[in-house]
Amino acid sequence: MLSFFTKARIRGGVHAEEHKAITATQAIVTGFPLPKTLYIPLQQHVGKPAEPLIRVGEQVLKGQLLAYSQGLISAPVHAPSSGVILDVNDYPAPHPSALPIRMIVLETDGKDQWLELPAVADPFQLAPEDISLRVGAAGIVGLGGATFPTAVKLNMGRENHIDTLIINGAECEPYLSCDDRLMQERSDQIIDGVRLMLHGMETGQAIVAIEDNKPQAFNAMLASAQAYPKITVIQIPTRYPMGWDRQLIGYVTGREVPVGSRSSEVGVTIHNVGTAYATHKAIRYGQPLVSRVLTVSGGAVGRPMNVEVPLGTLISEVFDFCGVDARQTARIIMGGPMMGDALPHTGLPTVKATSGLLALTASELKDTDEQPCIRCASCVSVCPAGLRPLDMANNIRVNQLDAAVDIGLKDCISCGCCSYICPSNIPLVQYFKYASGEVAARQQAQHKSEQTKRLMEARNTRLERIAEKQREEEQARIAAKLERERLKAEQEASV
């Protein structure tokens, strides 16, 4: 165990009902039937959307680049299978609003034929910068849900000379067990991915942190890491939201990430176990991120499981494969029940961020009848960010959003602990999500207004300069005319 490892005090959090046992004990299903049509969003990551470089009617192979990244914070998109491009247009997004976003529609040909990919005999002979370039070209993003481009974090880690890489194996969300099974079944590949990340960031050591409710995963990862002294595998307490980066960094290293700062600024960076596995495949075999393991669970699911599916597969097809009873389904959630998104229907595609798909029955949902606050302060005691949820909610109710921001709205991580623990069923986290969106919209409107004002001021300044120049030219013409008339008069007088 690393010498600096310290069991720092855990602030807030809840012991949520796990609902993991059914899927955590079953092997990952890899025989998912290839969908006839895949809907591949160009925005599956933080940053700018990818820009398509294919044409409608073009034949593509599995792993082929479909859209390239734009700018520093972006990620490319690849074909999850072979087939023909049917369309590049707007389709409903996997988001609570289901508003349309730009997607590539791929009709599969049933062959699932890979593009010829370059393999690397010894990736540790590659330059660290080359590791980042290959990871970026593979379209890998944070698979724990944040979807931040992994190559950017690798570069930031190297540039900031971080001393510790933390691999997040907490998977603290109820129902979800895809990371657990990945660690149990593919621990060697994950550890190889961790070693490649260390090489890419030129970092000396890594800690794999796994919640203590996953003993099989812990033992598998411990065995795979045994030969590598730079990698330590530890157990951490089972408590939601232990997977939050700041909570995990604080518990493992004792370091606190200041508000508004990145973890790399305190010498630490975090990656998910799924991201490490994807890095292994990208560097060793040249395979881009075109599929992922996700958990399908909930009371309405006939066959709960962890299954590997091509990105762009419609949720309806995943639910059909897992025997979901639509009549019993009261809510569809992408992700976990605490921080996931409730979706309006199943005609939406899976994406890189899809760690889970839940079909919950009415009995699994918390009573939504809101009652008056009893001032118990439970929400304060469980907030991992140390905020005052009720005070923020009261300000939001009366549209005092600036006051809510002043007492910490921007520090809220929308973990849902306050709503989970509230005996009055006050949907606190919903208030915060609404307010955060409203604040962002207002800031965007203010920015647009200020930009418009600057443009108008620049236009007025330009017009004033033009008018001033015209006045000067007119005055110069008058002066020249007067001078000519004076010279003419002098000449006439001399004659």
Tokens of residue 345, six digits: 């229907």
Specify whether the CB–CB gap between 432 and 385 falls below 8 A.
no
| 314 vs 316: CA distance, rounded Å | 5
Q: Which class for 305: exposed (0-12), middle (13-18), buried (19 or more C-beta within 10 A)?
A: buried
Buried b (16+ CB within 10 A) or exposed e, 17-37: ebbbeebbeeebbeebebbeb
User: 431 phi and psi, to 5 degrees?
Assistant: -60, -45
Q: Which class for 478: exposed (0-12), middle (13-18), buried (19 or more C-beta within 10 A)?
A: exposed
Helix (H, G, I), strand (E, B) or coil at 379: helix
User: 271 phi and psi, to 5 degrees?
Assistant: -135, 150
Specify whether the CB–CB gap between 122 and 271 falls below 8 A.
no
Residue 412 counted as an annotated binding residue: yes
- Any idea which residue has 């549209």 for tokens? 399
Residue 417 counted as an annotated binding residue: no
Handedness of CA 447, 452, 453, 458 (dihedral sign): positive
Tokens of residue 236, six digits: 């951490």
- CA–chain centroid gap for 415, Å, is 15
Handedness of CA 100, 440, 96, 152 (dihedral sign): positive
Residue 376 counted as an annotated binding residue: yes
Specify whether the CB–CB gap between 417 and 13 falls below 8 A.
yes
Tokens of residue 338, six digits: 């605490």
Residue 322 counted as an annotated binding residue: no
Check residue 49 and report its DSSP letter. P
Check residue 352 and report its DSSP letter. T
Tokens of residue 393, six digits: 């909610």
Binding site as annotated, residues for [4Fe-4S] cluster: 373, 376, 379, 383, 412, 415, 418, 422
Binding site as annotated, residues: 373, 376, 379, 383, 412, 415, 418, 422
